Amino acid sequence: MRLRIKKSLFCLISVTFALSCQNHKNTMSKIDAPIAKKVAKELEKHGDVRIDNYYWMNDREDPEVISYLEAENTYYQKSTEHTKEFQDNLFIEMKSRIKEDDSSVPYKLNGYWYLKRFEIGKEYPIYSRKKESERASEEIMFDGNEMAKDHDYFQLGGISVSPDNTMASFAVDTVSRRQYTIQIKNLITGEIYADKIENTTGGSVWADDNKTLFYTKKDPVTLRSDKIYKHIVGTSVEDDELIFHEKDETFYAFVYKSKSKKYIIIGSTSTLTSEYQTLRADDPNGKFEMFNARERGVEYGIYHYDDKFYVHTNKDEATNFKMMVTDENKTTSENWVEFIPHRADVLLEDIDIFKDYYVISERENGLNKLHIVRWDSSDNYFLPFDNETYTAATSTNVDFDTKILRYAYNSMTSPSSVIDFNMETKEKTIKKEQEVLGGNFDKANYKSKRVWATARDGVKVPISLVYHKDTKLDGNSPLLQYAYGSYGHTIDPYFSSVRLSLMNRGFIYAISHIRGGQYLGRQWYETGKMFDKKNTFTDFVDCSKFLIQEKYTSAKHLYASGGSAGGLLMGAIINMAPELYNGVMASVPFVDVVTTMLDDSIPLTTGEYDEWGNPNDKASYEYMKSYSPYDNVAKQNYPNLYVSTGLHDSQVQYWEPAKWVAKLRDYKTDKNLLFLDTNMEAGHGGASGRFEALKEVAKEFAFMIDLEGKIN
């Protein structure tokens, strides 16, 4: 999935911004933009020939490619040198709102309380645990700061503790291509064993014998997760047994453990189809049994409870999904019995199972709902939420035998809270509310609302807005419009302390819930993919027109932003309606759609045919060519553009934005800014480290604020 979302305590969705040449024309006149050489490459398919003058950039080992990227970086840095002090001040401002010595709310698992915490002045989390009581002495499991010392990029993940609590598997990525190396640590002695498993997804699962570990390896070229292996602690990795090989190139494989801890489960999924196999966790040498063989177009997920499996599925045209139940020994679909029926107006998203209750996560008219039900049917109710710009979701609920539901809540004006809710007494305890430091934050100073734009085909598209109460809605305020719009991934309205740096300077922030996500149900996704993909782009443009028409902003002050597949959205809208935007920001943008989708050696390609289409089919080829940003660059004016990428990106290869910028610079007929900013050490998620990522955001914010002439 070409998805780029940075996850941190400030709940920031990665966004990029642009600037104007208004305040630095004199500077710009002294700096020449890099001009990439042209080497014509003929690309033929279905009798159609495309000429790609920048295909030569597809080699990150070529010194000439590196020189070009470095030249673009130098051009960007020199052209924005006058904003550097402001960037530094923005970084300090945003960082000052975030509590440095912060920690997560502990959760209990198998006799230990686990937490993640940060220390002042350090970039990476410390993972620790306390035995039996939250007041017990702390046992540090992993200190990310120590582990990251010798690396430009560092990501720790996949921590999995053995059932007897003595060992933990963990995974590290030091390149930013999401190829993790799994190792095992003895939590009693502190020893890290010699076992080193490379090129994995990072996750691993312990069997009940405390020595058998199941994990997923990736294809070294395509990075598709396709093989499940079994490793015995202390043995040679070369002797690991291949348990499952997913040979269908459109599927990805993974392995996990049921919440009940009774089963180890292998999953295989494509965009439209799911399949699972199960093995009792106390029988690691047994054979995985097929749960229900894959059926084209049938998606399902499984949850174990007592002697039954609950199946979340779209089978039999249940577009918004339904919940079925079946005996754990009779799992094929002919044995499934309806538990929660399909509803045309409610998207059933998930279920959390407890001993006495189950909690249904659903979405109606775009709004999250948590539906709590006792197994004996003696109680049945929804948690109340009171506005239209909130996000609510169940959180870490690993304990099965409890009456406490942990969930997270925030709104566009209210910081994130972690809440423990007693499902029996209906009492709630706020365990933690995100602190916004600095002394000048008052949520009463901000307003939020949900409005509805009318798309060109008559469909109503929701937009979530937030702004400072003193911001005038007279058409003269700057507005940043963000969207993603692919894979059924929903961008919910959420709080961001970082965003305050925009709103306190008069910016309005808008999330357009366009087709391609699932904000208004599964059909909202179905009508924004494949041969309906252009709905995603036209929805965004029509939202922009609505925001201008209703005088939230104007074309002189409207900015658009998106990353990854959202970067494709940005590329499409500037080809379609460049006159609507003063600046457009595309981070790690997926813009060379046709060429990428024709190259099955590139990560993600084969698994996404059901999202974009397979261009080996002529109709799909012609449709995606009609919107592919790189193929549709025209001799016209474009907005000011800021484009960012990472050299080691495994999701969207760096050469897509690099080629796109080179072609834009050759074609565009305006004198607006066009910058390519490449992080030479990072990948799809940007810089590692808690606060290093803020430096990237500070650059982006300064870029856009400068366009408004508000550098101060």
Burial of 644 (C-beta count, 10 Å sphere; 0-12/13-18/19+): buried
Q: Of 548, 387, 433, 561, nearest to 491 (Cα)?
A: 561
Dist CA 56 CA 513 (whole Å) = 37
DSSP letter for each residue of 558-607: EEEEEETHHHHHHHHHHHH-GGG-SEEEEES----HHHHHH-TTSTTSGG
Question: Which of the residues 169, 631, 684, 688 is marked catalytic?
Answer: 684
How many Cα atoms within 13 Å fall on the side-chain side of residue 630?
23
Residues forming a β-bridge with 421:
405, 428
Let me know: does 268 contact 250? Beta carbons within 8 Å: no
Residue 198 in tokens: 């490379």
Name residue 607's amino acid: G
Is 649 in the active site? yes
Task: Report the relative pairing of strands 583-587 and 640-646 from DSSP bridges.
Answer: parallel
Question: Which of the residues 649, 650, 677, 706 is marked catalytic?
Answer: 649
Q: What is the 3-state secondary structure (H, E, C) of 328-349?
A: CCCCCHHHCEEEECCECCEEEE
Residue 671 in tokens: 């004198």
3-state helix, strand, coil in the chain (%, to 5): 20, 35, 45
Let me know: does 14 contact 4? Beta carbons within 8 Å: yes
Let me know: does 408 contact 417? Beta carbons within 8 Å: yes
Let me know: does 340 contact 361? Beta carbons within 8 Å: no
Dist CA 112 CA 183 (whole Å) = 22
Which residues touch 440 (CB under 8 Å, ≥6 apart)?
none
How far from chain centre, in Å, is Cα 472?
33
CB neighbourhood size of 84 (10 A): 12
Integer CA distances (angstroms), 587 to 84, 252, 600, in order: 20, 25, 23
Edge-to-edge strand list for the sheet holding 289-292: 252-257, 263-269, 274-280, 289-292
Dist CA 539 CA 453 (whole Å) = 9
Integer CA distances (angstroms), 107 to 117, 158, 338, 473, in order: 13, 17, 33, 44
Is 564 in the active site? yes
Instruction: Please tell me what DSSP assigns to residue 623.
Output: H
Q: Of 149, 127, 147, 130, nearest to 138 (Cα)?
A: 130
Question: Which of the residues 496, 564, 587, 650 is marked catalytic?
Answer: 564
Q: Which residue numbers are catalytic?
A: 564, 649, 684
